Structure 1
Amino acid sequence: MTKTVLITGCSSGFGKATALTFAREGWNVVATMRDPTKAGELALHPNIFVTRLDVQEQDSIAQGVGAGIGRFGAIDVLVNNAGFGLFGVFEATPSDKLREQFEVNVFGAMEVTRALLPHFRSRRAGLVVNISSGAGVFTLPLLAPYCASKFALEGFSEALSHELAPLGIAVKIVEPGGVLDTNFGARSGAEAARTPTPADYDGVAEATARLYARLSAQATSTQDDVARVIFQAATDGSDQLRYVATEDIQPLVRARRETSEAAYLHFLRARIAG
């Protein structure tokens, strides 16, 4: 039987690349997005069914999940990919943007997962793959709301994995870092440009700009590379919880997970200081 994956946020970036990767591997793909007119080449692929799903709208979630099941009969894997990153000084970030960050990155993933769990429970099988970030493992300046949302997603995912395992349902986390061909940074910069920042933060902003320039120069992975890690997580049959998807963040991940708190903070602050 051909398996089916439902992926959120497929109009661009990791979502689009992941939809194409699964389809090329012979899977049925329910490629969801807020605006299906942006589907582009996805709409031309015989294995891909494009449908509307806005993770901030309950009715849209129910309709998107229902449409996917109606089209292919069952869904085996959910990939919660939809998300965006706020960039800028926390103090200057409007409250409505903070709420939107969590509505999309955390509550959206929770609600799409909740919508699919009855289907997974009825089949005593299913897999949820949540797309986190290196910023869900370690923190960086001017990304406080984004880091907070991804830390929350990581905690939710890990706790949920214990809750669902007895029901035959698995949960996995994929953690990408920087990639060469995504518009994530452009959108984050556009969000930051809308919020004036107090001059007291100029020194922090300048140091952070240098840090991100160095991190960007270290990026070697593409969104297709990340999509392949997502596919691996969905198909390797292991009980592995977390997958680091890009090489550029490995030093920071190791510092966070394999050293003491003091050593990690010293390592990170030295990098921030440049």
Structure 2
Amino acid sequence: MTKTVLITGCSTGFGRAAALHFAQQGWNVVATMRRPEAGADLAADNVLVTRLDVQDRDSIAAALDAGIARFGRIDVVVNNAGYGLFGLFEATPRAKVIEQFEVNLFGVMDVTRAVLPHMRANGGGVIVNVSSGAGVFTLPMISLYCASKFALEGFSESLSFELASQNIRVKLVEPGGVLSTDFGRRSTQEAAGAASIPDYDRFVERTAALFAGLRGERLASEADVVEVIYRAASDDSDRLRYVATEDIRPLVAARREGSEEAYMALLRQRFSGAA
């Protein structure tokens, strides 16, 4: 029987690439986004393009209903929608902090909660949550993005134990920097609108230079990450975490395999130029 996947955030980036990849593999795809007109070209016999804004719970329920009406069931949900706040925590308005968590964490929770009764009735399913290397280790100037992704990691791990009892598997996909994604556009726009605190000017300037260097190290593409998302959705394993890009493996290994002291020393050395 043909399987059906619902993917959030399909207008650009990983979401759009994932919608195309799953469809090419013969899946039915519910490609969701805040503005469906942005993805109208994705529509096909096996691809339904429909509205879903993770900050609008009514739109979540409507998208699920539309997907089930079109294809009969939903076997996999890929929680991909997200963005990153870049900037100083002290200069970030509280409303933006809340929005970061609403999109990257609470939206994932709301989509997951909405689909679980359907998956339980079907006898199982898969939830794939797109996390980040910033959910494993931290970088300066993205404290709120890190916080949202660390929370997503903890939520997903704990949830995996609950849902195993219902034959529903939870997966975390952890990408690093990807050259071809449009993810950074919203982050840049948010940073441009942030307040300036002169005391941090030297730190911000040096950190920006460090990030420019990191961008030069990015070797992965959207296609690489989508292959990992697809594997997580379809490999029928109980594996929880999938590192999706090679650039973050050294820092992931330092965080998960080494001592706390060695990990912190590595990060302080790497980012000492920003001090």
TM range (shorter): over 0.9
The answer for the alignment partner of 1:41 in structure 2 is 41
> In structure 1, how many angstroms separate the alpha carbons of the residues matched to 2:176 and 2:147?
16
The answer to whether structure 1 residue 258 and structure 2 residue 236 are counterparts is no
The answer for the alignment partner of 1:244 in structure 2 is 243
Asked whether the equivalents of residues 131 and 173 of structure 1 are also in contact (C-alpha less than 8 Å), the reply is: yes
Asked whether the equivalents of residues 207 and 273 of structure 1 are also in contact (C-alpha less than 8 Å), the reply is: no
Q: CA RMSD in A?
A: 0.9
1:30 counterpart SS class: strand
Asked whether the equivalents of residues 130 and 174 of structure 1 are also in contact (C-alpha less than 8 Å), the reply is: yes
Asked whether the equivalents of residues 129 and 173 of structure 1 are also in contact (C-alpha less than 8 Å), the reply is: yes
The answer to whether structure 1 residue 75 and structure 2 residue 74 are counterparts is yes
1:220 counterpart SS class: coil
2:110 counterpart SS class: helix
2:271 counterpart SS class: helix
The answer for the alignment partner of 1:16 in structure 2 is 16
Deviation per CA, 1:36-79: give whole Å up to 9, x if none. 00004312x33211011111011111101111111100000000
Asked whether the equivalents of residues 178 and 220 of structure 2 are also in contact (C-alpha less than 8 Å), the reply is: yes
Deviation at 1:4, TM superposition (A): 0.3
Gaps of 5+ in 2: none
Specify the code of the residue in structure 2 equivalent to 1:82.
Answer: A
Asked whether the equivalents of residues 40 and 49 of structure 2 are also in contact (C-alpha less than 8 Å), the reply is: no
The answer for the alignment partner of 1:228 in structure 2 is 227
> In structure 2, how many angstroms separate the alpha carbons of the residues matched to 1:212 and 1:192?
14
> In structure 1, how many angstroms separate the alpha carbons of the residues matched to 2:170 and 2:245?
20
> In structure 2, how many angstroms separate the alpha carbons of the residues matched to 1:54 and 1:190?
20
The answer for the alignment partner of 1:128 in structure 2 is 127
Asked whether the equivalents of residues 5 and 78 of structure 1 are also in contact (C-alpha less than 8 Å), the reply is: yes
The answer for the alignment partner of 2:31 in structure 1 is 31
Asked whether the equivalents of residues 5 and 29 of structure 1 are also in contact (C-alpha less than 8 Å), the reply is: yes
- Give the 4+ runs in structure 1 shifted more than 6 A: none
Q: How many residues align?
A: 273
Specify the code of the residue in structure 1 equivalent to 2:58.
Answer: D
Residue range with higher mean Cα deviation, 157-166 or 188-197: 188-197
The answer to whether structure 1 residue 93 and structure 2 residue 100 are counterparts is no
> In structure 1, how many angstroms separate the alpha carbons of the residues matched to 2:41 and 2:247?
29
Specify the code of the residue in structure 1 equivalent to 2:166.
Answer: L
Deviation at 1:20, TM superposition (A): 0.5
Asked whether the equivalents of residues 180 and 221 of structure 1 are also in contact (C-alpha less than 8 Å), the reply is: yes
> In structure 2, how many angstroms separate the alpha carbons of the residues matched to 1:184 and 1:273?
27
> In structure 2, how many angstroms separate the alpha carbons of the residues matched to 1:26 and 1:115?
25
Specify the code of the residue in structure 2 equivalent to 1:128.
Answer: I
Output aligned runs, 1:81-230, within 5 Å: 81-230=80-229
Deviation at 1:186, TM superposition (A): 2.4
The answer to whether structure 1 residue 62 and structure 2 residue 28 are counterparts is no
> In structure 2, how many angstroms separate the alpha carbons of the residues matched to 1:146 and 1:188?
10
Return the TM-score normalized by structure 1: 0.98
> In structure 2, how many angstroms separate the alpha carbons of the residues matched to 1:14 and 1:54?
16
1:64 counterpart SS class: helix
Return the TM-score normalized by structure 2: 0.97
Deviation at 1:182, TM superposition (A): 1.2
Specify the code of the residue in structure 2 equivalent to 1:212.
Answer: F
Q: Using the aligned pairs only, state the percent identity.
A: 64
Asked whether the equivalents of residues 55 and 107 of structure 2 are also in contact (C-alpha less than 8 Å), the reply is: yes
Asked whether the equivalents of residues 172 and 241 of structure 1 are also in contact (C-alpha less than 8 Å), the reply is: yes
Specify the code of the residue in structure 1 equivalent to 2:7.
Answer: I
> In structure 1, how many angstroms separate the alpha carbons of the residues matched to 2:270 and 2:185?
23
Asked whether the equivalents of residues 207 and 272 of structure 1 are also in contact (C-alpha less than 8 Å), the reply is: no
Residue range with higher mean Cα deviation, 193-202 or 61-70: 193-202
Specify the code of the residue in structure 2 equivalent to 1:255.
Answer: A
